[in-house]
Structure 1
Amino acid sequence: MDNVEYRNKLRIQIREAYGRVVYTYTTHLKFMNNLKNKLMKLKQTQIFLSAVSSGGFLATVFLDKIVLSWVSGIVSIILLVINLYFKDFNLSDEIKQHQVASDRLWLIREKYISLLTDMNELSVEEIKIIRDELQDAVSEVYSSSPKTDSKSYKQAQNALKNEDEQFFKSEEIDKMLPEHLREKV
């Protein structure tokens, strides 16, 4: 196999690996956002139920209504059940773990972009060394990261395929740059 053909195969392999990293990175971000939403809803529910329970208790003290004491008691039981169910879940910690994974994958993603950019300037041996280092880094992140779910993967797939979430058009980049750094078309 000649050098050009082998370089092309390396490029294909590296592009595919880059794609997998981008998908995993985006999936971790989506999973993390889903967990944040779940945590926010849980906290809001707990606050609401605590307020209803406390308000119901205070109302029974001052108004002496049996219905209010029943409502207050039922709401307190619901709140207790929710608290018991979620006592072993640490959503904040899980959010942090996904944030760490996505941060590490972001750096690897950027290194893949740099490798693809530099491929024509590097020898085949240099490319293989960098590729192997990146594969090891990805493997380490995957083995130490929490798992995601199919819902987050589908959200990532939609974001990448339909919304160009991880990419910019040239015009978008130009709008973010100072005028002297913009591409002149």
Structure 2
Amino acid sequence: MAASTPAEDERYVLESQIRELYGRCAYTHKAHEKMAERASTYLWRVKWAQIILSALTTGGAIGVLFDKSSAIFPLATAALSISMVIVNSYVKDIDPGQDAQIHRDAASDIWNVREAYLSLLTDIRDPAFNLNDLRARRDELQIQLHAIYKAAPHTNSKAYAEAQGALQRREDLTFTDAEIDAFLPGPLKRKRV
């Protein structure tokens, strides 16, 4: 077996680092997607709680108008009205819809860098690409990523765990040749029928 040259060793080390950076990007991208999903789900639940409480409060108020002898409608309406004030006060200073959009935007920006790292991993295998040029591209991507991370909101451990499940168990970033072939026209398929 032939010994590797210093240039091959340098290329391997650079490739290893870029693989690590790609993996980190993949996880961060997916975590921001999960944060956006969580914020959207929370917004959906809050909006439905507000609608249901409003409808029940209105129903109670109508009941008070038509059944003046019962004490149930006024008490239920008051309890529902207080519940609605509590829910509305709780969500007054938070905006889950805006949070979801901010995480979607961060995920989109990180996706672009992740795909650039993937392209760089492809290029690094081509000996025609100079190591210094590859390092310069890596450094440019690092600067871009730093700017994105600086502006992006934080993710949490739940989103990271969901990202981990999506990437490791459900293999969200991987496709079989057959799956990719299904998207492509005949001449570009790997397995011709």
Amino acid corresponding to residue 6 of structure 2 in structure 1: D
* CA RMSD in angstroms, aligned pairs only: 1.1
Q: 1:105 aligns with which of 110, 121, 146?
A: 110
Is 1:55 aligned to residue 59 of structure 2? yes
CA distance in 1, matches of 2:49, 2:138: 48
Percentage of pairs with the same residue: 34
Which AA in structure 2 matches 1:123?
A: N
Structure with the largest fraction of helix: 1
**What does 1:53-92 align with in structure 2 at a 5 Å threshold?**
53-64=57-68, 65-92=70-97
Map 1:133-148 → 2, pairs under 5 A: 133-148=140-155
Instruction: Give structure 1 stretches of 5+ with no counterpart.
Output: none
CA distance in 2, matches of 1:8, 1:58: 75
Match of 1:43 among 20, 43, 47: 47
One-letter amino acid of the counterpart of residue 90, structure 2: Y
Which residue number in structure 2 is paired with residue 114 of structure 1?
119
* TM-score normalised per structure 1: 0.97
How far the C-alpha of 1:178 sits from its partner, in A, is: 2.1
Structure 1 residue 177: Cα displacement: 1.5
CA deviations 1:89-121 (Å, max 9, x no partner) are 011111111011001011101101111111123
Q: State TM-score, norm by structure 2.
A: 0.93
The 1-side partners of 2:77 and 2:180 are apart by 56
Residue 171 of structure 1: aligned partner = 178
Corresponding residue number in structure 1 for 2:188:
181
Contact 2:181 2:191 in 1 (8 A): no
Quick check: 1:8 aligned with 2:15? no
Q: Judge which range, 76-85 or 63-72, deviates more.
A: 63-72
CA shift for structure 1 position 70: 0.5
> Who is 1:96 aligned against?
101
Structure 2, unaligned stretches of length 5 or more?
Answer: none
Within 2, Cα distance between the matches of 1:5 and 1:176? Answer: 37
1:23 paired residue among 14, 17, 27? 27
How far 1:152 sits from its partner (Å)? 0.5
**CA deviation profile, 1:107-158 (whole Å, cap 9, x unmatched):** 1011011111111231011000000001111111111000111001000001
Counterpart residue identity of residue 51, structure 1: A
For residues 188 and 22 of structure 2, the distance between their equivalents in structure 1, rounded to whole angstroms, comes to 27
Code of the residue aligned with 2:34 in structure 1: it is K
